[in-house]
A and B are shown apart, each in its own frame.
Chain A
């Protein structure tokens, strides 16, 4: 991912857990998918855990990336899993999970990642999982345990987080942002009636990085980024 790798002076450090956060329509899912596709193309097994959208629908709506090869899915290099199916198999039918169920879910995701030899993983979205966890303690527990399990496998993960457009926080429950290794904020910025998609790296453990705001475009060549022109900044 040329642009993001440049901003991060080389890319997301291996085994980091990164919160990719933003309001709707900012390009989070496209960005996360591109991260996995590039990984799969490099030979790293990649896993997309879909929480909100059926993975078949997700695949049919995938940006027509020029570098996307359907064989990545056929060969198992790029795997899509629907979390609601996993909930059902684990018998997690109640609207709120217990502490035991949190452990069970972490074990199920980590177990699947281990079985597949996953080196890159995306959960889209962590916010939807958090709605079933309800309390800050359970959310903290879930993310910490999942991050630890993935990190021990040398797996780099992206947790997609949804926030409202007006939010000044980086996550819905305020816990997710505190325990992630990195935060990448995607936003819609209105400037004189134009709506620009922007990206900013707020934190990233283990690497130097730019903290400037960039404007992005979702293209068949992938996510492209350019620095936001300061002359047009509205100070947000």
Chain B
């Protein structure tokens, strides 16, 4: 499957789901760009949704640069950045109206609070929350608290009829992590085909 097909395939699968769905999106490291295009450009932006992008992997401005390079409109994307402050690089982000900073990826309650804040701020009828990624959150948190966090976050988003996409990188996933995500998600989507 070529890159454009992978992105379109992700968007098509997401489009079939009702709002308030929670989706586990497993990808290979190589498919990250197609995942961004499929979820944000071909799914959320085309449907007029606001996207709340929670990053604990790379800083929000790095993702923004990638999105701009891919020619994806970022005007409807809000970021919850859990990593910039930990890297001592959050200064510019704090003045960005579309970005909320969480001091550390270990502050999972604050992450939920920032998502809640941005949901309230958004005027859009439909909203998408992307967690990028469960693997990077697992670096900083044990499975017990992470599992509890996912359950509360996803239940809350479901109640607000927002879509949730939890990204996981198959090269870095463990069976425990995969089970944890599957437990709170209604649907699994794969970006690209898993190698035999």
Q: Could you list which residues of chain A lie within 8 angstroms of chain B, going by C-beta atoms?
A: 191-194, 196, 215-217, 219, 221, 224-232
B120 to chain A: closest residue by CB: A221
Q: How many A-B residue pairs have CB under 8 A?
A: 51
Is A192 a contact of B113 with CB atoms below 8 Å?
A: no
How many Å lie between the Cα of A231 and that of B108 in the bound state?
11
How many Å lie between the Cα of A216 and that of B120 in the bound state?
15
Further pairs besides A194-B107, A226-B112, A229-B108: 19, Cβ < 8 Å: A191-B106, A194-B103, A196-B110, A215-B110, A216-B113, A217-B110, A217-B117, A219-B113, A221-B117, A225-B113, A226-B113, A226-B116, A226-B152, A227-B109, A229-B148, A230-B148, A231-B148, A232-B108, A232-B145
How many Å lie between the Cα of A217 and that of B103 in the bound state?
13
B144 to chain A: closest residue by CB: A231
Is A194 a contact of B112 with CB atoms below 8 Å?
A: no
A interface footprint on B113-156 (CB within 8 Å = 1, 0 otherwise): 11011001100000000000000000000101111110010000
B151 to chain A: closest residue by CB: A229
Q: Which of A193, A194, A217 makes the CB contact (< 8 A) with B114?
A: A217
- Most A C-beta atoms less than 10 A away, residue of B103, B113, B145: B113
Q: Could you list which residues of chain B lie within 8 angstroms of chain A, going by C-beta atoms?
A: 103-104, 106-110, 112-114, 116-117, 120-121, 142, 144-149, 152
How many Å lie between the Cα of A60 and that of B146 in the bound state?
40
B149 to chain A: closest residue by CB: A229
Is A231 a contact of B117 with CB atoms below 8 Å?
A: no
- Most A C-beta atoms less than 10 A away, residue of B106, B109, B142, B146: B109
Q: Which of B103, B117, B120, B145 makes the CB contact (< 8 A) with A229?
A: B145
Contacts of A226 in B (CB 8 A): 109, 112-113, 116, 152
Q: Assuming A226-B152, A230-B148, A231-B144, is B117 touching A196 (CB within 8 A)? A: no
Is A196 a contact of B107 with CB atoms below 8 Å?
A: yes
Contacts of A194 in B (CB 8 A): 103-104, 106-107
Contacts of A228 in B (CB 8 A): 109
Q: Assuming A231-B144, A231-B145, is B113 touching A217 (CB within 8 A)? A: yes
Selected A-B contacts with CB under 8 Å, 22 pairs = A191-B106, A192-B106, A193-B104, A194-B106, A194-B107, A196-B110, A215-B109, A217-B113, A217-B114, A217-B117, A219-B113, A219-B117, A224-B113, A226-B112, A226-B116, A227-B109, A227-B152, A229-B108, A229-B148, A231-B147, A231-B149, A232-B145
Is B142 a contact of A231 with CB atoms below 8 Å?
A: yes
Contacts of B145 in A (CB 8 A): 229, 231-232
Contacts of A227 in B (CB 8 A): 109, 152
Contacts of A215 in B (CB 8 A): 109-110, 113
How many Å lie between the Cα of A193 and that of B85 in the bound state?
14
How many Å lie between the Cα of A80 and that of B104 in the bound state?
38
